[in-house]
């Protein structure tokens, strides 16, 4: 008898402790699962037996077709507000949780598949994913991770050997992703909408134990969880804003309790600064535009608070008051987090009165001068001394009196700090390389036709976003004018 396949030491607390929140399931059979990308460093941190990396059973396991020791695949149950409307039953329609492992930092992590076939939650969908969007999620997650932003990460991308119908025939693929957990606001909403508050209560207790253990013995657990999720989301969205990231589908089923970014669908990084920027082809109203993200995060938290309401107090008015207290705190936490993120981008170690105006005036100028967000911030490191040819003034290519006068205000604000330290902070907080839409698109197009080189090259650059690489200057530039207006599509 062959030995059982055991790539990881699984320990499945969600399956053990939350029996109402999933259905046991198996991946669909696919003709020829094969690894396209494998994140060796991440695999190692998850305690994977790396002698099994070349094992032909690994792709079959990652497709959800081959059982492994200790893995108990399940489809997760959740609901969600999508573009403002409530869908009472979403769930993993093309995804499976394979199990949990404890990583080498002692953190519990989910190993999860996307594209593993139909489940009882698929509704009209085919349960599949295709190569372009799978690689897009792979690269976006790794870029965010390297930028220091909480995120799910890709462990592997696979081809399935299948042809999948999307706008034409596309190569089928599966993403293997790793997350602190897959518990979402929508998980709570599902049970709250059915009036099953004993499950909501179990979810609260489990989430606190797993993500905010310092608060697990608090007297009012639902309130503690609401507060922690609010703080985590405030910080997360402030970090998105700091790199010009637009999630694109901030529905409550895509809002994690852990505070990680999840579900890279039609997301993108803003190029020219404009708070109204939207890339997603399905976001006709601009609901999830760059500048709307903090307000939407608060809206999503309000849905979370609603799902927890009966657990916040037995007295409804008191429960409402508590929920409003957290939502008010969210606005303050977000503003504070935003100020901290942008202070660092401007080379500052602290914030003081007047900084908000200073920062906002800069952003306004970026908009007026039609400057690239990432490039402009990076150029600040060359703008500390008046008259530097490579600084931000050289980017604007037009009458820049307003920019010069803003730079004077900024230099005054920096006066007293060591120029070397400021320079270091500017370089450490303003990336050179982000997944620019035109570069990513070209890399995905090449990958679809079998050439993985451009993808691997881009992945390497965005994995070290703050380090300039010789010979890759063009990767730090905005798209050429003929790239046109970019749109992202949800058909992951």
Give catalytic residue positions: 253
Question: CA 441, CA 430: separation in Å to the nearest integer?
Answer: 23
Handedness of CA 478, 481, 483, 486 (dihedral sign): positive
Q: How far is the CB of 84 from ligand AMP (least distance, A)?
A: 15
Nearest CA to 208 out of 219, 222, 196, 198 is that of 222
Q: Burial, 415: exposed, middle or buried (Cβ in 10 Å; 0-12, 13-18, 19+)?
A: exposed
Q: Identify residues 76-105 at the interface with ligand AMP (CB under 6 A).
A: 90-95
Question: CA 137, CA 39: separation in Å to the nearest integer?
Answer: 13
User: Which listed residue (100, 137, 162, 263) binds ligand AMP by CB under 6 A?
Assistant: 263
User: Binding partner of residue 125 among ligand AMP, Mg ion, none, CB under 5 to 8 Å per kind?
Assistant: ligand AMP
Between 121 and 140, how does the x/- string for binding to ligand AMP read (CB under 6 A)? xx--xxxx------------
Q: How far is the CB of 126 from ligand AMP (least distance, A)?
A: 5
Please identify, using beta-carbon distances, which residue of 15 and 262 lies nearer to ligand AMP: 262
Please identify, using beta-carbon distances, which residue of 88 and 397 lies nearer to ligand AMP: 88
The residue whose two tokens read 């970014």 is: 261
Residue 25: both structure tokens together:
């399931």
40 close to 54: Cβ distance less than 8 angstroms: no
Q: Please identify the residue of the shown chain whose CB is closest to the bound Mg ion.
A: 263
Element (DSSP H or E) covering residue 188: helix 185-193
Under the binding rule (CB under 6 A), the answer on residue 265 touching ligand AMP is yes
User: Which listed residue (254, 258, 351, 430) binds Mg ion by CB under 5 A?
Assistant: 254
Q: How far is the CB of 115 from Mg ion (least distance, A)?
A: 13
Q: Strand (E) positions, 105-167?
A: 108-114, 129-130, 153-166
Q: Identify residues 125-184 at the interface with Mg ion (CB under 5 A).
A: none
Please identify, using beta-carbon distances, which residue of 255 and 326 lies nearer to ligand AMP: 255
CB proximity list for 82: less than 8 A, separation 6 or greater: 90, 249, 251, 252, 253
Span interacting with ligand AMP, options 30-38, 52-60, 249-257, 295-303, rule CB under 6 A: 249-257
User: Binding partner of residue 91 among Mg ion, ligand AMP, none, CB under 5 to 8 Å per kind?
Assistant: ligand AMP
Under the binding rule (CB under 6 A), the answer on residue 340 touching ligand AMP is no
Query: Got the DSSP string for 210-276?
Result: HH-GGGTT-SSHHHHHHHHHHHHHHHHHHHHHHHTEE-S---GGG-BSS--B---SS-EE--B--TT
Q: Burial, 361: exposed, middle or buried (Cβ in 10 Å; 0-12, 13-18, 19+)?
A: middle
Nearest CA to 307 out of 215, 190, 410 is that of 190
User: Binding partner of residue 122 among ligand AMP, Mg ion, none, CB under 5 to 8 Å per kind?
Assistant: ligand AMP
Phi-psi region of 127 (alpha: psi -120 to 50; beta: other; left: phi over 0): left
Please identify, using beta-carbon distances, which residue of 100 and 263 lies nearer to Mg ion: 263
Q: How far is the CB of 145 from ligand AMP (least distance, A)?
A: 20
Question: CA 175, CA 38: separation in Å to the nearest integer?
Answer: 10
Q: How many residues bind ligand AMP (CB under 6 A)?
A: 19
Span interacting with ligand AMP, options 22-30, 50-58, 117-125, 376-384, rule CB under 6 A: 117-125
Under the binding rule (CB under 5 A), the answer on residue 189 touching Mg ion is no
User: Binding partner of residue 266 among ligand AMP, Mg ion, none, CB under 5 to 8 Å per kind?
Assistant: none
Please identify, using beta-carbon distances, which residue of 288 and 359 lies nearer to Mg ion: 288
Please identify, using beta-carbon distances, which residue of 127 and 244 lies nearer to ligand AMP: 127
Span interacting with ligand AMP, options 120-128, 337-345, 406-414, 438-446, rule CB under 6 A: 120-128
Question: CA 180, CA 163: separation in Å to the nearest integer?
Answer: 32
User: Binding partner of residue 256 among ligand AMP, Mg ion, none, CB under 5 to 8 Å per kind?
Assistant: none
User: Binding partner of residue 36 among ligand AMP, Mg ion, none, CB under 5 to 8 Å per kind?
Assistant: none
Please identify, using beta-carbon distances, which residue of 89 and 364 lies nearer to ligand AMP: 89
Q: Please identify the residue of the shown chain whose CB is closest to the bound ligand AMP.
A: 125
Q: Identify residues 174-193 at the interface with ligand AMP (CB under 6 A).
A: none
Between 258 and 297, how does the x/- string for binding to Mg ion read (CB under 5 A)? -----x----------------------------------
Which long-range contacts does 190-196 make (Cβ < 8 Å, 24+ apart)? Answer: 190/77, 190/78, 190/79, 190/88, 190/89, 190/91, 191/20, 191/21, 191/307, 192/306, 192/307, 192/308, 192/309, 193/79, 193/86, 193/88, 193/307, 194/88, 196/20
Question: CA 373, CA 392: separation in Å to the nearest integer?
Answer: 11
Please identify, using beta-carbon distances, which residue of 95 and 339 lies nearer to ligand AMP: 95
109 close to 178: Cβ distance less than 8 angstroms: yes
Q: For binding to ligand AMP (CB under 6 A), which residues are involved? A: 90-95, 121-122, 125-128, 249, 253-254, 263, 265, 490, 492
């Amino acid at each position: 008898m062959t030995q059982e396949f055991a790539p990881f030491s699984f320990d499945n607390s969600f399956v053990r402790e939350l029996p109402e929140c999933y259905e046991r399931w198996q991946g669909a059979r696919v003709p020829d699962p094969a690894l396209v990308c494998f994140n060796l460093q991440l695999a190692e941190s998850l305690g994977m037996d790396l002698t099994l990396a070349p094992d032909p059973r690994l792709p079959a396991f990652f497709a959800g077709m081959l059982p492994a020791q200790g893995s108990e695949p399940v489809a997760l149950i959740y609901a969600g507000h999508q573009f403002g409307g409530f869908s009472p039953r979403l769930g993993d329609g093309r995804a499976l949780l394979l199990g949990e492992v404890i990583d080498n930092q002692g953190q519990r992590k989910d190993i999860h598949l996307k594209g593993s076939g139909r489940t009882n939650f698929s509704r009209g969908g085919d349960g599949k994913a295709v190569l372009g969007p799978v690689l897009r999620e792979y690269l976006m997650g790794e870029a965010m991770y390297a930028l220091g932003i909480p995120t799910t990460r890709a462990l592997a991308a696979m081809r399935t050997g299948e042809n999948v119908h999307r706008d034409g025939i596309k190569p089928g693929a599966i993403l293997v992703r790793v997350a602190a957990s897959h518990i979402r606001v929508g998980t709570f909403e599902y049970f709250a909408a059915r009036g099953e508050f004993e499950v909501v209560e179990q979810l609260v207790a489990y989430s606190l134990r797993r993500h905010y253990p310092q608060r697990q013995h608090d007297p009012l657990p639902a309130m503690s969880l609401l507060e922690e999720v609010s703080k985590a989301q405030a910080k997360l969205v402030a970090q998105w804003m700091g790199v010009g990231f637009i999630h694109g589908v901030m529905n409550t089923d895509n809002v994690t309790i852990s505070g990680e970014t999840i579900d890279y669908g039609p997301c993108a990084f803003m190029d020219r600064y404009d708070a109204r920027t939207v890339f997603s082809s399905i976001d006709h109203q601009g609901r999830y535009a760059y500048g709307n993200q903090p307000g939407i995060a608060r809206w999503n938290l309000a849905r979370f608070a609603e799902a927890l309401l009966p657990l916040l107090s037995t007295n409804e008015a008191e429960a409402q008051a508590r929920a409003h207290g957290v939502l008010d705190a969210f606005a303050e936490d977000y503003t504070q987090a935003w100020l901290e993120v942008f202070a660092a981008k401007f080379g500052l170690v602290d914030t003081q009165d007047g900084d908000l105006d200073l920062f906002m005036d800069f952003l306004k100028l970026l908009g007026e001068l039609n400057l690239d967000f990432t490039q402009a911030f990076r150029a600040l490191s060359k703008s500390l001394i008046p008259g530097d040819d490579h600084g931000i003034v050289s980017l604007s290519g037009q009458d820049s009196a307003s920019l010069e006068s803003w730079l004077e205000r900024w230099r005054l604000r920096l006066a007293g700090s060591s120029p070397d330290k400021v320079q270091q902070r500017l370089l450490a907080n303003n990336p050179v390389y982000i997944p620019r839409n035109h570069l990513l698109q070209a890399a995905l197009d090449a990958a679809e036709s079998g050439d993985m080189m451009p993808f691997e090259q881009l992945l390497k650059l965005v994995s070290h976003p703050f380090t300039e690489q010789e010979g890759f200057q063009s990767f730090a530039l905005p798209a050429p004018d003929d790239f046109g207006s970019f749109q992202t599509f949800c058909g992951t």
